[in-house]
Amino acid sequence: EIVLTQSPGTLSLSPGERATLSCRASQSVSSSYLAWYQQKPGQAPRLLIYGASSRATGIPDRFSGSGSGTDFTLTISRLEPEDFAVYYCQQYGSSAYFGPGTKVDIK
């Protein structure tokens, strides 16, 4: 079983700043089967990124994903007020486990 670790646990930033979220896997993630989801309070998760770097339909280009192997990054280039939320990475392909999440809150 691949275990995902996300850091930091909480990221406190101001609107307009750049956010860099990390997701590390305990083993190599094959074919970059890595997704990112955003979840706001009281809402269902929403797919942001799949295949480590492909944006889902309707996702603004300020969101970008990168990485391969065991190290992956979600970058939000300039935080908008609606981007303050919890972000989860997920490994798929052979299983479907999630990381513990990173909360991005307003500084």
Partner 1 sequence: QVQLVESGGGVVQPGGSLRLSCAASGFTFSSYGMHWVRQAPGKGLEWVAFIRYDGSNKYYADSVKGRFTISRDNSKNTLYLQMNSLRAEDTAVYYCAKDSNYGDYVRVGYFDYWGQGTLVTVSS
Binding site for partner 1 (CB under 8 A): 33, 35, 37, 39, 43-47, 50, 56, 88, 90, 92-101
Instruction: Give the separation between CA 37 and CA 90, rounded to whole angstroms.
Output: 8
Nearer to partner 1, 35 or 79 (CB): 35
> Which residue in this structure is represented by tokens 């770097």?
53
How near is the Cβ of 94 to partner 1 at its closest, in Å? 7
Residues 6+ apart with CB under 8 A from 57: none
Instruction: Give the separation between CA 37 and CA 101, rounded to whole angstroms.
Output: 9
Nearer to partner 1, 17 or 73 (CB): 73
How near is the Cβ of 19 to partner 1 at its closest, in Å? 19
How far is Cα of residue 97 from the mean position of the Cα atoms in its chain?
13
Q: Which DSSP symbol is given to 17?
A: S
How near is the Cβ of 51 to partner 1 at its closest, in Å? 8
| Element (DSSP H or E) covering residue 39 | strand 34-39
How near is the Cβ of 15 to partner 1 at its closest, in Å? 25
Nearer to partner 1, 42 or 81 (CB): 42
Nearer to partner 1, 17 or 103 (CB): 103
